[in-house]
Amino acid sequence: MDRNECLMLDGRLRIIEAFLQILQWGSMEVHLLIEFYLLKKPFDINWQIPSFLINFFKRCEIMDKLFLIGFMGSGKSTVGKKLSLILNTSYIDTDSLIEETYQKKIPAIFKEEGENAFRKYETDILHTVTAEIVSTGGGIVEKDENVKWMQKNGVIIYLQSNFDEITTRLEKDSFRPLWDKSLADRRKLYIKRVIMYEQYADLVIDTTQKDIEAIAHEIIHEYTYNYKPNREKYRKEILKG
């Protein structure tokens, strides 16, 4: 896609954005205007992202790296894979990459080498990732070095789930060393990490009782319309040619 085409898409993005700001006031007239005169089809309120926005991300290469953070069982890996399919871009899971690189399962690393060794591997792996969509381990925020690196190199998206839902999802999961604790210890770890997730996240997406497709589209929507700083930065880069 050449510069003029990118500018044309960016113009359409600005128009949609302006109308959506008005829509927040509940204007049915503007809603109908978008339906019949701009999009030429019913306006989809279920987070179905117009194809031209996805093409805008992929072909103009303006998308930041998206780092998915959240507690174990929040759906980071599944959502990350779905995002990569929708946006047709690269994806990696840091836990899987650790196991592949060090030829050892994570429970074995914890048992044989300890959590400190695992955290070192995690940091080393994080600094090597080149994928655009990155699902991270639940404890990635335990080290300031990791947080600063993600803040510098992309957008941090927190996939939020309440404790009860996490407990249900992990009920039959016996492969998470830090979850194999008493209920009180699990809750303590959950509260500790949630505080960090909320502190460091650029965007927060509630995943409670939502399907993967809806979560992925909501991430794209929130990134497109509510993550302003980087979008403005990239627009300036496009305009410079």
For 19-69, write each residue's pLDDT tens digit: 555 445 444 434 444 443 344 444 444 445 555 555 555 544 446 789 999
73 is in an annotated binding site: yes
pLDDT at 182 over 80: no
Known binding residue 11? Answer is no
Average pLDDT over residues 179-205: 87
| In 179-233, beta strands by DSSP E | 203-206
- Residue length, the chain? 241
231 among annotated binding-site residues: no
- Residue 206 known to bind ligand: no
Cut 0.85: pTM above it:
no
pLDDT in tens, 61-110: 446 789 999 988 888 999 999 998 888 889 999 999 999 999 999 889 98
Q: Give the Å distances, CA to CA, from 174 to 56, 118, 137, 139, 169.
A: 42, 18, 16, 17, 12
Query: In 34-114, where does DSSP find H-type helix?
Result: 51-60, 76-87, 94-102, 106-113
Q: Is 119 annotated as a binding residue?
A: yes
Is 130's pLDDT higher than 60?
A: yes
Per-residue pLDDT at 50 = 53
**Per-residue pLDDT tens over the stretch 152-174:** 888 999 999 888 888 887 776 65
Letter string b/e over residues 155-187, b meaning 16 or more CB atoms within 10 A of that residue's CB: bbbbbbbeeebbbeebeeeeeeeebeeeeeebe
Domains of the chain, CATH where assigned? 3-60+224-240 (no CATH), 65-219 (3.40.50.300)
96 assigned ligand-binding residue: no
Query: Is 193 annotated as belonging to a binding site?
Result: yes
